[in-house]
Amino acid sequence: MINNSLKELSAALAAKKISSRELTQAFLDRIAQLNPVLNAFITVDAEKSLAQADAADKRIGQGQAGPLTGIPIAQKDIFCAKGWRTTCGSKILANFTAPYDAQVIERFDAAGAVNLGKTNMDEFAMGSSNETSHFGPVKNPWDPLAVPGGSSGGSAAAVAARLAPAATGTDTGGSIRQPAALTGISGIKPTYGVVSRYGMIAFASSLDQGGPMAKSAEDCALLLNTMAGFDTRDSTSLDRPPEDYTRDLAQPLKGLKIGLPKEYFAEGLAPDVAQAVETALAEYKKLGAQTVEVSLPNTQLSIPVYYVLAPAEASSNLSRYDGVRYGYRAPEYTDLMDMYKKTRAQGFGAEVKRRILIGTYVLSAGYYDAYYLKAQKLRRLIAQDFTEAFKQCDVIMGPTAPTTAFNLGEKSDDPVSMYLSDIYTIAVNLAGLPGMSIPAGFGANGRPVGLQIIGNYFAEAKMLNVAHQYQLATDWHLRAPQVV
């Protein structure tokens, strides 16, 4: 059962082979057993989850079930869920109980899904290894010495280790795709504006986007059907007609044109990752696809641009943590200024402080044009690279990350080397495009490799189709780690 797809679980629930309570309890038991090792969840509340499961069972009994009714889903601890502790991986929110629901949570609740608990993450989603969490690092279920990636590392580890049938993530620079790749699961970051940011704790608002993380593309499509939707409470939410993201899953791939950016297969790509990606591309050719070389000449610039824009937006967004209205307040201080400074010095971790200071610097008087405005101009050039590339192809493919999962501690003392591990994912956020990662085998060390699929704006259904057809022909997405 822990390996079943969402469709299979839904069918079992509908046929009364299992109740939502039994299903939820089974996953809660796995969490109780394995979370002490993996640290994938920050908060579990069995009573709340089981109450939702009972409500779902009632709904199923009344014949009013939807595709996700009764299915437990782990929520990244960046989504506010009313009555649930919501920490964003930070000490400053360690005792914060959300007084309202994120739109994503509202939509899962309305669909009758069960909130299985809140997953661990890099503090304020700032990290690529889950090591910046105030609640400790997450272990990669494939190898306890390895990081699970970040920032949605808890969600990725939970799905990979089968502690949850599916989970949510958010992706500002790769935070769904890179952990999906490093733990051998599937995840999609939709086009910017498709999933509401309301109640999703802000990091870099012009880049942040929520999305599903699951065992397969088909599961991701079902989850995205629930997550996507216009929301007046998010100023950049896009008012578009609802889509059925499963509609094209069965389409054959004959004639599909896959663009391969030469910059994604250049220096810095580990040979074992390159090998796995080549093998996946060969499989796509067997399925009738053709490949064409494309160029994204400004790829190298995406990291510098990101490390201006994201910290700038973060420094503004995180100014709300002042020890006055909610969250942590330092126990001792002399005056108001001292209270702000001590609260924030004690409440934020090292990576968050670095980014706030960088953001403050690039936005400070006299430097705005040289950094922030310059970065916004380069952002347009980066987006135009993709526009040009999509004139020659339907989707772009390449590695999700340059290496398989690195070891815990390997990069945590060197922020810049950590940042460089997001080289293939960041440009997609800057352009606002949808991006996906699916499992495509294993590296020399036995750790998973992710294949990245990048689509044009609003091409999610196409990308899910492209991923699903590959998953019908291969079984990488069915491999599960041997967790104790």
Partner 1 sequence: MSLTEADVKRMAHLARIEIEEQEVAPMLAQLSNIMGLVEQMQAVNTDGVAPMAHAQDLSLRLREDRVTEQDQHAAFQALAPQVEAGLYLVPKVIE
Active site residue 129: no
Question: With 0-12 CB in 10 A as exposed, 13-18 as middle and 19+ as buried, what is 268?
Answer: middle
* Beta sheet of 435-442, edge-to-edge order: 41-43, 114-119, 72-76, 166-170, 210-214, 186-189, 435-442, 448-455, 395-399, 257-261, 290-294
387 binds partner 1 (CB under 8 A): no
Contact pick of 195, 296, 431, 463 for partner 1 (by CB under 8 A): 431
Contact characters 437-466, partner 1, x per CB under 8 A = --------------------x---------
Task: Check: CB of residue 88 under 8 Å from CB of residue 347.
Answer: no
Out of 20, 129, 151, 196, the active site residue is 151
Minimum Å distance from CB 316 to partner 1? 10
Distance CA 339, CA 266 (A): 49
Minimum Å distance from CB 108 to partner 1? 22
| Contacts of residue 441, Cβ cutoff 8 Å, sequence gap at least 6 | 276, 279, 280, 448, 449, 476
339 binds partner 1 (CB under 8 A): yes
Nearer to partner 1, 265 or 326 (CB): 326
- Side chain identity at 310, as an amino acid letter? A
- Side chain identity at 212, as an amino acid letter? P
Counting every residue written for the chain, the total comes to 484
Minimum Å distance from CB 106 to partner 1? 16
Local structure of residue 118 (DSSP, 8 states): E
266 binds partner 1 (CB under 8 A): no
- Angle at alpha carbon of residue 152, lines to 357 and 471, rounded to 5°: 140
| Contacts of residue 70, Cβ cutoff 8 Å, sequence gap at least 6 | 10, 13, 19, 20, 23, 53, 56, 57, 59, 60, 112, 113, 114
Number of residues that bind partner 1 (CB under 8 A): 70
Minimum Å distance from CB 323 to partner 1? 6
203 binds partner 1 (CB under 8 A): no
Minimum Å distance from CB 420 to partner 1? 8
Task: Check: CB of residue 143 under 8 Å from CB of residue 167.
Answer: no
Out of 19, 152, 175, 302, the active site residue is 175
Contact pick of 22, 243, 322, 410 for partner 1 (by CB under 8 A): 322
Nearer to partner 1, 164 or 238 (CB): 238
Minimum Å distance from CB 232 to partner 1? 7
Contact pick of 375, 395, 427, 467 for partner 1 (by CB under 8 A): 375
Active site residue 5: no
Nearer to partner 1, 162 or 379 (CB): 379
Quickly count: other Cβ atoms within 10 Å of residue 309's Cβ.
24
Active site residue 391: no
Distance CA 30, CA 368 (A): 50
Question: With 0-12 CB in 10 A as exposed, 13-18 as middle and 19+ as buried, what is 30?
Answer: middle
The strand pair at 395-399 and 448-455 is best described as: antiparallel
Structure tokens, 58: 């009632």
- The strand pairing partners of 228, in sequence order, are 195
Minimum Å distance from CB 335 to partner 1? 5
Contact characters 291-320, partner 1, x per CB under 8 A = -------x-xx-xxx-xx------x---x-
End-to-end CA, the chain: 18
Contact pick of 238, 256, 401, 483 for partner 1 (by CB under 8 A): 238
Q: Which stretch binds partner 1 (CB under 8 A): 24-32, 121-129, 178-186, 366-374?
A: 366-374
Q: Which stretch binds partner 1 (CB under 8 A): 112-120, 176-184, 287-295, 328-336?
A: 328-336
Out of 5, 19, 76, 139, the active site residue is 76
* Positions in the binding site for partner 1 (CB under 8 A): 96-97, 99, 191-193, 206, 232, 235-236, 238, 298, 300-301, 303-305, 307-308, 315, 319, 322-329, 333-342, 344-345, 348, 353-354, 356-358, 360-362, 364, 370-371, 373-381, 383, 415-416, 419, 431-433, 457
Which residues are tagged catalytic? Answer: 76, 151, 175
